[in-house]
Structure 1
Amino acid sequence: MRNAALLLLLGLLGACSDETGAEAEGNPTQAEEPEAGAPAGGAAPPTGAWDRAAMSIPADEELRERGNWLLDRGLSSGRAWQYLTELCTVAPKRLSGSAGYEKAADWAFDTMIQAGLENVRLEPVMVPRWVRGEVERCVAEAADGSRIDLAVTALGGTIGTGPGGITAEVVEVDGLEGLADIGDALSGKIAFFNRPMRATARTTGAAYGEAVGQRTRGAREAVKHGAVGVLVRSMSTKLDDYPHTGAMGYDEDGDKIPAAALGLISADKLSAALKQGTVRVTLELEAETLPDVEQWNVIGEIPGGDLRDELVVVGGHLDAWETGVGAHDDGAGCVQSVEAARLLIENGFRPRRTIRVVLFANEENGLAGARGYAAKHGEGGAHFVAMESDSGGLGPRGIGLARPRDVIDRLQPLGFPLSSVGAERLFAGGGGADIGPLRDYGCFVSSLKVNDERYFDYHHSALDRLDNVNPRELQLGAVTMAYWLSIFANCEQAALASQSESE
């Protein structure tokens, strides 16, 4: 029904773009297209050629006042940092299935109520329960007999090794592609995937996307060549020795072998030792997978007006890897979502559509929360836009929107009130893992875009902690989200329609 409505209203848009309207949906891990029509140096906002009033887009002066209010109030008395400190103190270890996640859900429920959200509730989902255990040990014996202690952490979902671990020779492999001609060289050995994140990639997200397959699929592919274990170079952009964990998986009917990540310095040490001759490694992990348990998505709302049955969703994932405290990933996204809603409530903003905050369970190792939410609420086409923050609490650049280029060009000038803090851009391409399933139900997806050059320094490691989050950057992200939520909550659906969809 929504597509039909969009086509009926499309005539109101006029000839708003000369672009072909080719899809620029994008993959969040790929480089975004350059932003379109960004105001230069905070110049006066451009006036639109399309009928903004007919699309329920406020005039420039109203947008300027709204943006200034959000910036002034957010930077003077915002609560994003307070919320993040509380969450990471109450539930620093909140992986799915853990008691820590239950504490996080209780905190989120109470905080949403305190923030003024309505219809606050816990919605149950079944989530996996993987436990890291206390033992993570990796020792290499070089060709000259010297011993090298390697910084290691189990990958999420791996099996354990059993007491005492496994000991085997190591074979270095250049990413998954390195398996193509490996033959039987891995038989009875430990595969060491050592492809780094590409330094020349234009975005760190693109570099991560290129390299992460060796972590997620390394064990399932290496075991087919007879490997007995897997070590992976951490997905990191910083040369230190903090190992970075992350999800991995096995073929349902395939053999399972233990898998772990090495810190970058340890990976380089192991690679150097292999160049001198045979290296044997002892790897010991205590990890195990226990039966699934019931946990929850946490939901709260700002009820809408004349379009109350339509939804604009904003959220992040409440679970986090327990190597750190999940300050950036994704404590930041959770508190920004609640804070964005709180700011709009304090402002007295009256949304036409219902704004729904969803803090999702089990993003890191299963997406049970995302799938459960979409299965329960996706039917009926009620979701207009969903926005996710899951790139850390770093300085915002704007938002991404997975719509064709003509839509991006049309909406780009609306970001001008945020130009004073460098957050005015609208990028083609957006979304995230938790809101991705809603696309199957016709929902447009969006995401906060940040300066993520340092994100993978912290991601999934012990460095993902409060002292690596800047309170001002965190708050500015919440302000940016609040501003665009106010537009999506009140505009006509045709404001996001594309000329390409009428052809």
Structure 2
Amino acid sequence: MKTCSFRILIILLIFSCTGIAQNKDQDSIMINKLFTTVLTEGKSYEWLDHLANEIGGRLSGSIEAERAVKYTEAILNELGLDNVWLQPVMVPKWTRGFKEYAYLETAGGQKRVMDICALGGSIATPSLGIKAEVVEVQGIEELASLGKEKLSGKIVFFNRPMNPSFIHTYQAYGEAADQRYAGAKEAAKYGAVGVLVRSLTHSLDDYPHTGSMTYGDLPSSKHIPAAAISTNGAEYLSSLLKLQPDLKFYYKMNCKTWDDVQSYNVIGEITGSTYPDEYMVVGAHLDSWDLADGAQDDGAGVVQSMEVLHLFKKLGYKPKHTIRAVLFMNEENGLRGGKKYAEEIKRKGEKHRFAIESDAGGFTPRGFSFDTNAANLEKAKNWKSLFEPYLIHLFEKGYAGADINPMKGNIDVLAGLVPDGQRYFNHHHAATDTFDAVNKRELELGAATMASILYLFDRYGTN
């Protein structure tokens, strides 16, 4: 009897191992098809060309953002999806106005024009601009030690650079971003009349990088204008302040905040064959800053997300779960689209199992960052060998993405595509974020990488 039971156990183990091997072979074949198809029949680069070069920068509330909604909705309809719709969301509208102008003036009356740009959400300067002495600091924490006595009536110059020793550039960005986001709010408490913030990039160049900022709960009478200065400009200003601490800086900005306006998240889906009421999302943000065409941030993610559904349709893959591409509006200066989507799925009681976001540029994919439990992370790591032929190696626990993060607590797995980030902040929020900086092959590899991990979670589910 014991011998018979042992033989049955051995047979079951053999069949189990055979089944695992067969599944792995099937998965390997499917992933190869995804990569081969995107590299030979992909549409993402063509779509990005139109989005970047025909529509351009898509700041929420703008005509360009509205055109981008209509364009991507049309593309999703052309793919023959089961459902395509627009999800209404009210978004902020801020305009830059005429190009900013700035110069520094030395004690002898000599002037040098400087490269600046308004930070998103800043108020304008007075009509004649602002001219004041400059106080350089390395961070918000220095303000309290200087106090009103040294800061009142001055322009505060935040000059902490992104740390060059960090291999992960997002770590360096995160460490330095507080001075951009909250610098004006904090400096205003000490009587400063304006702020300049060193642009968030490792590059030394003449391109100022914009980005969102806040005044928090400060009354409007306390708001002060906030601008980014190029890294070359920051280096020059800092060196000159050491020689002439009483120099003056002048700048004029014409930006304005308007009433909120109606916009939309763009959503397309393929209905699941087994679990039609359970959802898996691939997404990116449709809006961008206005200094360039937003090809890397985040036009790349938008077209990659649409490409995933295009690949599934092209290959005739019928997902078990309903797969959605969600193109979120207003990530850059409000995150209204991501919050709205999360509110709606909670209100409707929709079961979301998995979401992956692409918002780190269209560079060569390296892997994924997962925000999930240990069981799902281990499941993903068990698939690493399937990705090795495509040089995808990073499977780590970490932050997934701003637009899908509001779903946390109502979803099993959040994931972020992690491309090579060494060049990303050369373009991030700057006039250099243009279509010519995107490599077609790298863009397509990223789309196939997203499609592959989505396919695996769709096939095997989440824990």
When normalised by structure 1's length, the TM-score is: 0.85
SS in 1 for 2:141: helix
AA aligned opposite 1:484: I
Alignment partner, residue 212 of structure 2: 247
Instruction: Return the offset for 1:58.
Output: 7.1
Bigger shift: 172-181 or 351-360?
A: 172-181
CA contact (8 A) 2:291 2:431 kept: yes
User: 5+ residue gaps in structure 1?
Assistant: 1-47, 495-503
Give the equivalent residue in structure 1 for 2:228.
261
> What is the one-letter code of the residue matched to 1:86?
H
Corresponding letter in the other structure for 2:44: A
Displacement, 1:372?
A: 1.1
The Cα of 1:404 is off from its aligned counterpart by: 4.0
The corresponding residue for 1:72 is: 36
Q: Distance in 2 between matches of 1:259 and 1:402?
A: 34
* 1:389 aligned partner: 358
The equivalent position to 2:290 in structure 1, one of 316, 322, 337, is 322
In the aligned structure 1, how far is the partner of 2:192 from the partner of 2:48?
A: 42
The structure-2 alpha-carbon separation of the partners of 1:57 and 1:336, relative to structure 1 and needing over 3 Å to count, comes to farther
Structure 1 Cα separation of the partners of residues 407 and 41 of structure 2: 34
Shift in alpha-carbon separation, 1:342–1:329, aligned structure 2, 3 A:
same
Q: What is the CA–CA distance in structure 1 between the aligned matches of 2:418 and 2:99, rounded to whole Å?
A: 37
Match of 1:28 in 2: none
Q: Secondary structure at the match of 1:212?
A: helix
C-alpha distance in 2, partners of 1:406/1:308? 24
1:401 aligns with 2:370: yes
* Residue 131 of structure 1 pairs with residue 95 of structure 2: yes
8 Å Cα contact 1:151/1:243 also seen in 2 = yes
How far apart are the structure 2 equivalents of 1:443 and 1:117?
Answer: 25
Change (3 A) 1:377 1:52: farther
Structure 2 contact 401–416 (Cα < 8 Å) conserved: yes
Choose from 277, 299, 306 the match for 1:331: 299
Q: State yes or no: 1:159 paired with 2:128.
A: no
- SS where residue 125 of structure 1 aligns? strand
Q: Which residue identity is paired with 2:98?
A: E
1:408 and 1:126 map into 2 onto residues whose CA distance is: 35
Instruction: Give yes or no for the alignment of 1:214 onto 2:179.
Output: yes
| Number of aligned residue pairs | 445
Corresponding letter in the other structure for 1:114: E
Contact 1:90 1:104 in 2 (8 A): no
SS of 1:176 mapped into structure 2 = coil
Is the 2:354–2:411 contact (alpha carbons within 8 Å) kept by the matching residues of 1?
Answer: no
1:304 counterpart residue number: 272
* Richer in helix (by share): 2
| CA distance in 2: counterparts of 1:303 and 1:260, whole angstroms | 46
Letter in 1 for 2:273: G
Residue 230 of structure 1 and its aligned partner are, at CA, apart by: 0.5
Runs of 4+ in structure 1 off by over 3 angstroms are 51-54, 404-407
Asked if 1 retains the 8 angstrom alpha-carbon contact of 2:139 and 2:179, the reply is: yes
Query: How far off is 1:406 after superposition?
Result: 5.2
The verdict on how the C-alpha distance between 1:386 and 1:475 changes in structure 2, with shifts beyond 3 A counting, is same
Question: Does the CA-based 8 Å contact 2:376-2:462 persist in structure 1?
Answer: no
Within 1, Cα distance between the matches of 2:407 and 2:110?
A: 54
> Which secondary structure state, in structure 2, belongs to the residue aligned with residue 310 of structure 1?
strand
Deviation larger for 399-408 or 383-392: 399-408
Provide closer, same or farther for how the CA distance between residues 463 and 52 of structure 1 changes in structure 2, counting only shifts above 3 A: farther
Counterparts in 2 of 1:381-460, with a 5 A limit?
382-405=351-374, 407-460=376-429
Other structure's SS at 1:83 match: helix
TM-aligned CA distance change 1:58 to 1:274, over 3 Å: farther
- Match of residue 294, structure 1, among 262, 265, 268: 262
Q: Is contact 1:143–1:276 with CA below 8 Å preserved after alignment?
A: no
Question: Residue 74 of structure 1: CA displacement?
Answer: 1.0
Task: Report deviation, 1:142.
Answer: 2.0
**Aligned equivalent of 1:224, options 189, 198, 213:** 189
**CA shift in 2, pair 1:348/1:141, >3 Å:** same
Structure 1 distance, partners of 2:21, 2:360, is 28
* Separation of aligned partners in 2, 1:428 and 1:316: 20
Structure showing greater radius of gyration is: 2
Kindly state the Cα deviation for residue 405 of structure 1 after the two structures are TM-superposed.
4.6
Moved more, 74-83 or 355-364: 74-83
Q: How does 1:355-374 map to 2 (within 5 A)?
A: 355-374=323-342
Quote the Cα distance in structure 1 between the aligned partners of 2:212 and 2:128.
24
Task: Tell me, in whole angstroms, the C-alpha distance in 2 between the residues paired with 1:441 and 1:413.
Answer: 24
Deviation (angstroms), 1:331: 0.2
Question: Is the CA contact 1:458–1:464 (under 8 Å) kept in the aligned structure 2?
Answer: yes
Partner of residue 478 from structure 1, selected from 447, 452, 455: 447
Distance, in Å, in 2 between the alignment partners of 1:151 and 1:217 is: 21
Q: Per the alignment, do residues 464 and 53 of structure 1 end up closer, same or farther by CA in structure 2, a change over 3 Å counting?
A: farther
Alpha-carbon distance in 2 for matches of 1:143, 1:172: 18
**2:238 matched to which residue of 1?**
271
Aligned counterpart, 1:466 = 435
Q: How does 1:88-167 map to 2 (within 5 A)?
A: 88-167=52-131
Equivalent position of 1:5 in the other structure = none
2:344 counterpart SS class: helix
The answer to whether the aligner puts 1:188 opposite 2:161 as a matched pair is no
**Offset, 1:430:** 3.5
Does structure 1 retain, via aligned residues, the 8 Å contact 2:66–2:263? yes
Q: Distance in 1 between matches of 2:85 and 2:294?
A: 23
Question: Hey, what does 2:50 align to over in structure 1?
Answer: 86
Equivalent in 229, 243, 251 of residue 283 of structure 1: 251
Letter in 2 for 1:433: A
User: Could you state the TM-score of these two structures normalised by the residue count of structure 2?
Assistant: 0.93
